Amino acid sequence: MTVHVPILTAAEIEKMRIAGKLAADVLDMIGPHVVPGVTTLELDNIMHDYIVNTQEAIPACLNYQGYPKNTCISVNEEVCHGIPGAKHLHKGDIVNIDVTVIKDDFYGDTSRMYIVGGETSPRNRRLCEVTQECLYEAIKAIKPGVDLTVVGDIIQPIAEKNSFSVVRDYCGHGVGREFHQEPEVLHFRNRNHFILEAGMTFTIEPMINAGTWKCRVNKHNGWTVTTQDGQPSAQYEHTLLVTEDGVEILTYRSEEEGHIDRIIHHA
Ligand code: MF3
Ligand code: CO
Ligand code: CO
């Protein structure tokens, strides 16, 4: 079983930087719109216009394997692939917005949590914080020569120490000229051994549940994933580049300064 992962050229890496920055900019742009009363369809429309008209890029999700909207917006017990629609957001909801753009043939893929109205339960807030910590701690371990199993080795104990659980049915992925390519990036302990090399690009995107890790897919729309027990779920995602001495976060937002560096060097 051979896993094929492209090593990007300097020119390709530059295109990935641009695509990643655009995806990150969408998450920054939409933040002020994520307020009580707005519908997820309104948010999707705003992001569509911004991606297409301002960024002159392509919303990668639209028509991807039949997906009907531009972005994924997953609220509370929705784990991922929430389809934007007539649902109104309420104060205290925790919302993941996942944006993927294509620019100049390359994909940038990223997501973050928003707390509607700025306040939620302590448990919801903790779930969001721990999920971001899971992503950040895994990112900090990335450099050439490291086995990708490090991602699950780091994330699962952080989640479980907080009595949360790691979703097993969905994973991170190689990303570049394609939306989803090898390698598969599992967020729980696993034996999917794969040694990273400089020039590879992939996502880490842990989904962490407050209760059981078990999920179900909405049988009416075929997409939206919810927790089996109805408890909330959180997710953060970055697109990453393995550098000569560490990792670069291609979908970095300036708001993250002080929490994690955009470029991490290991001696
Ligand atoms: N952006 C998601 C990911 O992180 C994929 C969404 S596919 C869609 O991999 F079709 F649901 F949009
Ligand atoms: Co992804
Ligand atoms: Co994504």
Contact between 20 and 110 under an 8 Å Cβ cutoff? The reply is yes
**Under 8 Å between Cβ of 216 and 109:** no
Q: Which has the closest alpha carbon to 89: 39, 27, 29?
A: 39
Q: Which residues line ligand 1 (CB under 6 A)?
A: 61, 64-65, 67, 72, 81, 98, 100, 109, 205, 237
Q: What is the pLDDT of residue 94?
A: 99
Cα 74 to middle of ligand 1, angstroms: 11
User: Which of 27, 44, 48, 61 to probe ligand 1 with, by most ligand atoms within 8 A of CB?
Assistant: 61
Q: What is the per-residue pLDDT across 116-129, written as a single tens digit (0 to 9) for each?
A: 999 999 999 999 99
State whether residue 9 is helix, strand or coil.
coil
What mean pLDDT do residues 93-105 have? Answer: 99
pLDDT value of position 1: 72
* Alpha carbons 13 and 21: distance in angstroms, whole number: 12
Residue (of 110, 138, 148, 108) closest to 14 by Cα position:
108
What pLDDT score was predicted for residue 249? 99
Best of 26, 48, 64 to mutate for ligand 1, by most ligand atoms within 8 A of CB? 64
Task: Round to whole Å and give the CA distance between 24 and 110.
Answer: 7
Of the pLDDT bands very low, low, confident and very high (cuts 50, 70, 90), residue 210 is very high
Rg (the chain; Cα; Å): 17
pLDDT digits (tens, 9 = 90+) for 54-68: 999 999 999 999 999
Structure tokens given for 199: 């020039």
pLDDT at 2: 85
Mean pLDDT of all residues belonging to the chain: 98
Distance (Å) of CA 63 to CA 18, 70, 205? 23, 8, 22
Centre of ligand 3 to C-alpha 180, Å, is 10
Who has greater pLDDT, 202 or 1? 202
What was the pLDDT predicted at 49?
A: 99
Average pLDDT over residues 196-222: 98
* Residue type at position 126: R
Q: Given pLDDT bands bounded at 50, 70 and 90, which one contains residue 27?
A: very high
Question: pLDDT at position 267, please?
Answer: 82
Is there a contact between 197 and 7 (Cβ–Cβ < 8 Å)? yes
**Above 90 in pLDDT, residue 184?**
yes
